């Protein structure tokens, strides 16, 4: 990495906003192509891996999925799952394998088009210009809590999953986790392992089995090409889909909420509000559990068909049988019985730094085709489903970065010819 100190009036062929794995992957390609650029990071490189995840976090994708341009995973456990600290160290080392020009501790406050060509980029270190600007900030910026969180008594400690680190962070007593996506289910398990009384309010999130017929399900899906199918083949709505919950903890295993219930975790439907001194839930618990199981089983069906079609020898395996079903689930939970609430209902994007650039759709989501927008020279990278399912994870970052880098290089070549 090369530390860059931005100065008012500097000009670059390209400015990359965001110093995570996507921004660094793109920088690697631009370095190879001789494109003068800078990666601007408001904090320190890849800080989200160390600052935004809990202590016992692990990847849910196998380590062999981790590959950045010129930098594949080469550790001793390709089928294992790196911990939070291992991922941080691995990605941070990447920046030192090439001369990534990085301005750390610098915020981008506004991007505007210039009357002639390119962009004016206002930063906390001054205003610079660029022929191309690339957003590599991802889409998860501001932790979300509902408006009714303010109705909960002050005696109940509230925390967002983004801030959760371990059980010792919370006051003694029962914990209500609201949200059953990847973070919510794994944090609920973390608390259960620590001996806490846990209540979990479920949403409509799918799950996937960790292993099936002798192999990790995500390895099967990768071999089947599922992670490489363009979003256009699914439809734009696919970009809003929720990832399946599973865990890589202790070598990887299923997250079975029914089994958690058998171990004492209290399950509820979706949390819908707070009134009358208690939390309120709808009656979707059974429906949500059945849906999650149906998705896991449908993935196994796809794997079975693939094995049969390709003539692969793989040991047969008995299918999942639900051993717990909800009966008489309450629709309310008195606040007096809860010491802490952990919100795990996601994030919203903050694109305020884009100003009036016409790169968002009517719902405020990035409007692009494989990273390219209607504003010449402005691109996105590192978004979930930017091009394929693999785009929002390590699996396809290298491919996406190469594609965007080639568009930037073509623009730079055009600029030279015009000049």
Instruction: For 295-335, give the DSSP string.
Output: HHHHHHHHHHHHHHHHT------PPP-------S--SEEEG
365 vs 140: CA distance, rounded Å: 11
Which of 328, 343, 358 corresponds to the end of one domain?
Answer: 343
Q: Are residues 29 and 86 in the same domain?
A: yes
Per-residue model confidence (pLDDT) at position 117: 86
Residues 6+ apart with CB under 8 A from 176: 199, 200, 201, 279, 333, 338, 340, 341, 342
How many domains in the chain? 2
Determine the average pLDDT of the residues in 180-205.
97
Q: Are residues 52 and 84 in the same domain?
A: yes
Q: Are residues 123 and 179 in the same domain?
A: no
Per-residue model confidence (pLDDT) at position 238: 52
Residue 113 has pLDDT above 80, yes or no: yes
Per-residue model confidence (pLDDT) at position 106: 98
Q: What is the 3-state secondary structure (H, E, C) of 82-129?
A: CEHHHHHHHHHHHHCCCCCEEECCCCEEEEEECCCCCEEEEECCEEEE
Q: Which residues pair with 108 in a beta bridge?
A: 123
Which of 315, 343, 371 corresponds to the end of one domain?
Answer: 343
118 vs 413: CA distance, rounded Å: 14
- Pick the range with the lowest mean pLDDT from 125-134, 228-237, 285-294: 228-237
Reference 26, options 73, 70, 57, 88; nearest CA is 70
Q: Are residues 395 and 326 in the same domain?
A: no
Q: Are residues 131 and 153 in the same domain?
A: no
Per-residue model confidence (pLDDT) at position 411: 87
Check: CB of residue 95 under 8 Å from CB of residue 31: no
CATH code of the domain containing 129: 3.50.50.60
Residue 16 has pLDDT above 50, yes or no: yes
10 Å CB burial of residue 146 (0-12, 13-18, 19+) is middle
Phi first, then psi, for residue 158 (nearest 5°) are -120, 140
Per-residue model confidence (pLDDT) at position 415: 67
**Other C-beta atoms lying within 10 Å of the C-beta of residue 72:** 11
Q: Are residues 164 and 109 in the same domain?
A: no
Q: Are residues 158 and 131 in the same domain?
A: no
Mean pLDDT computed over every residue of the chain: 94
Determine the average pLDDT of the residues in 200-213.
97
Q: Are residues 251 and 298 in the same domain?
A: yes
Q: Are residues 379 and 406 in the same domain?
A: yes
Q: Kindly report, residue by residue over 52-111, the tens digit of the pLDDT.
A: 999 999 999 999 999 999 999 999 999 999 999 999 999 999 999 999 999 999 999 999
Q: Which residue has the tokens 């590599």?
A: 136
Check: CB of residue 415 under 8 Å from CB of residue 117: yes
Name the residue range of residue 185's domain.
144-343
Q: From residue 401, give the alpha-carbon distance in Å to each of 174, 230, 320, 386.
A: 45, 15, 39, 11
Determine the average pLDDT of the residues in 385-412.
91
For the ranges 133-137, 328-332, 413-417, the maximum mean pLDDT occurs at 133-137
Q: From residue 178, give the alpha-carbon distance in Å to each of 134, 149, 244, 293, 413.
A: 34, 11, 17, 20, 51
Q: From residue 150, give the alpha-carbon distance in Å to each of 73, 146, 275.
A: 45, 8, 11
Determine the average pLDDT of the residues in 154-180.
98
Which of 343, 365, 389 corresponds to the end of one domain?
Answer: 343
pLDDT confidence of 235, banded at 50, 70, 90? low
Helical axes 84-95 vs 21-32, angle rounded to 10°: 20
Per-residue model confidence (pLDDT) at position 362: 92
Longest dimension (CA), the chain: 74
Q: Kindly report, residue by residue over 372-398, the tens digit of the pLDDT.
A: 999 999 999 999 889 998 888 898 999
SS3 367: coil
- Pick the range with the lowest mean pLDDT from 28-37, 183-192, 223-232: 223-232
Task: State both tokens at 291.
Answer: 């849906």
Task: State both tokens at 66.
Answer: 């981790």
Triad 44, 48, 49: Cα angle to 5°: 110
Task: State both tokens at 2.
Answer: 């090369």
Triad 321, 322, 328: Cα angle to 5°: 160
Q: Which residues pair with 380 in a beta bridge?
A: 135
Task: State both tokens at 93.
Answer: 């080392």
Residue 416 has pLDDT above 90, yes or no: no
Per-residue model confidence (pLDDT) at position 213: 98
Check: CB of residue 297 under 8 Å from CB of residue 254: no
Q: Are residues 413 and 366 in the same domain?
A: yes
Q: Are residues 359 and 335 in the same domain?
A: no
10 Å CB burial of residue 302 (0-12, 13-18, 19+) is middle
Per-residue model confidence (pLDDT) at position 139: 85
Burial 83-115 (b: 16+ CB within 10 A, else e): bbebbbebbbebbeebebbbbbebebeebbbee
Q: Are residues 249 and 183 in the same domain?
A: yes
Q: Helix %, strand %, coil % for the chain, to 5?
A: 35, 25, 45
Q: Kindly report, residue by residue over 260-318, the tens digit of the pLDDT.
A: 999 999 999 999 999 999 999 999 999 999 999 999 999 999 999 999 999 999 999 99
pLDDT confidence of 241, banded at 50, 70, 90? low
41 vs 72: CA distance, rounded Å: 23
Task: State both tokens at 223.
Answer: 């071999």
pLDDT confidence of 116, banded at 50, 70, 90? confident
pLDDT confidence of 419, banded at 50, 70, 90? very low
Task: State both tokens at 411.
Answer: 């623009």
């Amino acid at each position: 990495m090369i530390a860059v100190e931005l100065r008012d009036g500097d000009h670059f062929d390209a400015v990359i906003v965001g110093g995570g794995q996507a921004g660094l992957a793109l920088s690697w390609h631009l370095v190879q192509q001789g494109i003068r650029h800078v990666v601007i990071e408001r904090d320190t490189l890849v800080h989200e891996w160390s600052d935004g995840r809990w202590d016992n976090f692990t990847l849910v994708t196998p380590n062999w999925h981790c590959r950045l341009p010129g930098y594949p995973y080469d550790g001793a456990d390709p089928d294992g799952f790196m911990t939070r600290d291992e991922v941080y160290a691995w990605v941070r080392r990447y920046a030192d394998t090439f001369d990534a020009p990085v301005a750390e501790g610098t915020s981008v406050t506004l991007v505007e088009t210039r009357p002639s060509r390119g962009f004016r980029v206002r930063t906390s270190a001054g205003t610079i210009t660029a022929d191309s600007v690339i957003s590599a900030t991802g889409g998860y910026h501001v932790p979300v809590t509902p408006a009714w969180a303010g109705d909960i008594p002050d005696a109940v400690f509230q925390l967002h999953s983004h801030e959760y680190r371990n059980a010792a962070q919370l006051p003694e007593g029962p914990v209500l986790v609201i949200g059953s996506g990847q973070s919510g289910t794994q944090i609920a398990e973390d608390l259960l392992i620590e001996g806490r009384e846990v209540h979990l309010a479920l949403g409509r999130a799918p799950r996937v089995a960790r292993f099936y017929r002798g192999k990790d399900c995500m390895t099967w899906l990768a071999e089947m090409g599922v992670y490489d199918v363009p979003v256009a083949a699914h439809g734009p709505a696919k970009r809003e889909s929720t990832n399946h919950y599973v865990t890589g903890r202790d070598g990887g295993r299923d997250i079975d909420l029914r089994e958690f219930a058998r171990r004492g975790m209290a399950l509820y439907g979706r949390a819908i509000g707070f009134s009358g001194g208690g939390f309120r839930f709808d009656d979707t618990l059974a429906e949500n559990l059945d849906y999650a199981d149906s998705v896991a089983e449908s993935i196994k069906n796809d794997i079975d068909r693939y094995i049969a079609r390709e003539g692969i020898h793989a040991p047969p395996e008995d299918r999942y049988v639900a051993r717990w079903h909800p009966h008489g689930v309450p629709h309310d939970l008195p606040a007096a019985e809860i010491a802490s609430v952990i919100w795990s209902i996601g994030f919203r994007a903050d694109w305020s730094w884009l100003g009036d650039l016409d790169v968002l759709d009517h719902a405020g989501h990035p409007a692009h085709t494989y990273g390219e927008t209607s504003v010449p020279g402005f691109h996105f990278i590192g978004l979930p489903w930017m091009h394929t399912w693999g785009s929002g994870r390590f699996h396809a970052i290298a491919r996406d970065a190469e594609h965007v880098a080639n568009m930037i290089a073509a623009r730079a070549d055009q600029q030279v010819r015009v000049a």
